[in-house]
Amino acid sequence: MTTIKQSQGVPYTRIYSYGASRGDLSVPNDDLVGPIDSSDEWIRQRTGIVTRTRASAGILAVDLATDAAKEAIEKSGVDPADIDLVIVATISNVQQTPSAAAVVADRVGANPAAAYDSNAACAGFAYGVAQADALIRTGGAQYALVIGAEKLSDVVDPTDRSISFLLGDGAGAVVIGPSDFPAIAPTVWGSDGSKAHAVGMNATLIDYRDGDANWPTLRQEGQTVFRWAVWDMAKVARRALDAAGIEASDLAAFIPHQANMRIIDEFAKQLKLPDTVAIARDIETTGNTSAASIPLATHRLLEEHPELSGGLALQIGFGAGLVFGAQVVVLP
């Protein structure tokens, strides 16, 4: 029997840089409370959000992704022509095909990179990092551009009290490539489709086309998602620490999906994080940006605390599906 060849890559990978692009509009709570019969105080107490960034009409998720990618590439020092893999994690690319990734690859000068979109909602960025890490280590790519990008204001109903006031627009990007040392630990990931009803779209595009539903928008069962996120995801976070072979006290930063400030605070309590661990709380002024929230929060944390560079960060995403992904990384 003829033996075929299989590709082999490098032993280790790392994140070289982060890039970010937030919506150009700052939308305070007071601008949203009328249609949902609520108040600024109610939103702050329940979510920790004071304002959120949203993008103007005409700016799409792919545009935000492009801007974030350009910053990440420039900071990385990698020639965009050497990037041979582009992954965009998104649930809000309103043009289902072509992929946002293929468009971004062309815009940043990475043609003819392999490019595809990934739909894992708020866990999308963690999924993208896992895939890029695996593909580089097995020889499927040399350098990867991973982006979480969302324009969630295109898929919200302003009269919905379950999730609409939480959501913002933005994109975060990283460049991943070979490393001389281990810098991306094994990913703990999975899903629980039995709870898929807890957060997701309220109709299909076929329903909309046939006049049986309005434009599909996101909805959630808040208490179901809150309990799942706090209790089940704390267990996933601990498994990610075990997979990396470290303790919570070894962390420099904790960067959870920016879903709700109460969830973030409860997470920290469950994990018994010491005061030395910086905790990302970007949700206060950016809102929940689904797949973009982890890289956006990390970008801001590194800007505000450059001393975190070289430290260990635990990032965990969780959301619609109910999909989750967590890994420990070394910050660039």
Please give the positions annotated as active site.
122, 257, 288
At residue 12, what are phi and psi to the nearest 5 degrees? -135, 155
Residue with token string 């560079």? 309
**Sign (positive or negative) of CA dihedral 299, 314, 327, 319:** negative
Cβ-contact 254, 241 below 8 angstroms: no
Q: From CA 216, how far away is CA 202, in angstroms rounded?
A: 6
Q: From CA 173, how far away is CA 89, in angstroms rounded?
A: 10
Q: From CA 132, how far away is CA 58, in angstroms rounded?
A: 30
At residue 134, what are phi and psi to the nearest 5 degrees? -65, -40
Q: From CA 147, how far away is CA 2, in angstroms rounded?
A: 40
Q: Which amino acid is at 317?
A: G
62 CB-near residues (< 8 Å, 6+ apart) = 88, 93, 95, 100, 103, 104, 149
Whole-Å CA distances, 8 to 1, 63, 115, 133, 213: 22, 34, 20, 13, 49
The pairing of beta strand 218-220 with beta strand 278-279: unpaired
184: which DSSP letter? B
Q: Which of 314, 323, 300 is nearest to 272 (CA)?
A: 314
Omega into 28 within 30° of 0, i.e. cis?
Answer: no
